Amino acid sequence: SAEKRWRRIRGFNDLAKVINGVKFRDGVEVSSNADESRSAA
């Protein structure tokens, strides 16, 4: 379906971020600041 294809295209764009060490949680990019505040809560 178009939705799966769109996810595949977006995933390819995010692949560079993953290689650069950007963390993702449930498919959403997580910044280091947000990650720290969640773990502290």
pLDDT digits (tens, 9 = 90+) for 1-41: 677 776 666 667 777 777 777 887 887 878 766 545 555 55
**CA–CA distance, 12 with 18 (Å, rounded to integer):** 10
Structural domain total, the chain: 1
Domain of residue 30 covers 2-40
**CA–CA distance, 15 with 9 (Å, rounded to integer):** 10
Predicted TM-score (pTM) of the model is 0.33
